[in-house]
Every structure is written in structure tokens, then in C-alpha cells.
Amino acid sequence: MLKKQIQTTDAPAAIGPYSQAIRAGGFIFYSGQIPLDPSSGTLVGGGIEEQTRQVITNMRAMLHASGCDFADVVKTTIYLTDLADFATVNEIYGECFSDVPPARACVQVAALPKGSMVEIEWIATVKQ
């Protein structure tokens, strides 16, 4: 199977030995996005709402770089450092998906990179 790396400067650069996204077969596998400002590489200020909106902005940039949009997303995993933030994250997340939302898991974790409160990773189908 051929795999192709997808990169964009419109989303935060990888902060480790991984790709922003990989296209393999009919799918694109996106690395988790945390609420980093792509231009500075720093965590955005504010609480869970601001951080979630930045993650969604980063997701949109990555989807655009791969020729996709939110309608092409088939699976997401949301990582939260506090499940008490679920309702806020769910409301913002829901603004992106309309007719057929993707399959999803949401889990609480002990910590996320750079002190982030939220991270989302996802898989999308390749547009034909």
C-alpha cells in the first residue's frame, strides 16, 4: 500500500517524530490536534471553549490541505483532561458535523502535550 504524507503550515507543525497526516488507500489518518496557534506554536489562552475552537480551526486547516472537509470525516477520538468539559466540547464539535456525524470515542486522560485540555484525532475518506 502506498502512503503519502500531508503537511501544511496552516496547522501546527508536528512536535515530535510523526506526520500531520498520512494518506493510505482510501483514507487519510490525521494526527491529534491540540490547541496550538500554528504561527507561534504556542498553546492558545483561555479555557476549554477557546482551546476546542482552536483544535477545530486546526482540523479545518488539515482537512483543507488534504482536499477534504468535515463531511468526509468518518471517525474521531476526543481526549479530555476533564470529562466535566464534555458538554462544552460536544456543543462546539457538533457545529462541524451535520447530516451524518462520524463515529466517535471520547476519553479522559491524565495529561496532554503542552498542558492542553483537549486533543482530537480523526480519519477521513479520500474524495474521489
Q: How many domains does the chain have?
A: 1
Q: What is the CATH number of the domain that holds 55?
A: 3.30.1330.40
| The pairing of beta strand 27-33 with beta strand 118-125 | antiparallel
> Domain range spanning residue 38?
3-125
Give CA–CA dist 96/2, Å, rounded: 30
Report the pLDDT value the prediction gives residue 8, as an integer from 0 to 100: 96
Report the pLDDT value the prediction gives residue 128, as an integer from 0 to 100: 64
Report the pLDDT value the prediction gives residue 22, as an integer from 0 to 100: 97
78 phi and psi angles, rounded to 5 deg: -110, 130
Q: Which residues of 102-113 are buried (b: 16+ CB within 10 A; e: fewer)?
A: beeebeeeeebe
Counting as low any pLDDT under 70, the low residues of the chain are 1, 128
Report the pLDDT value the prediction gives residue 127, as an integer from 0 to 100: 77
Its pTM stands at: 0.95
Report the pLDDT value the prediction gives residue 48, as an integer from 0 to 100: 98
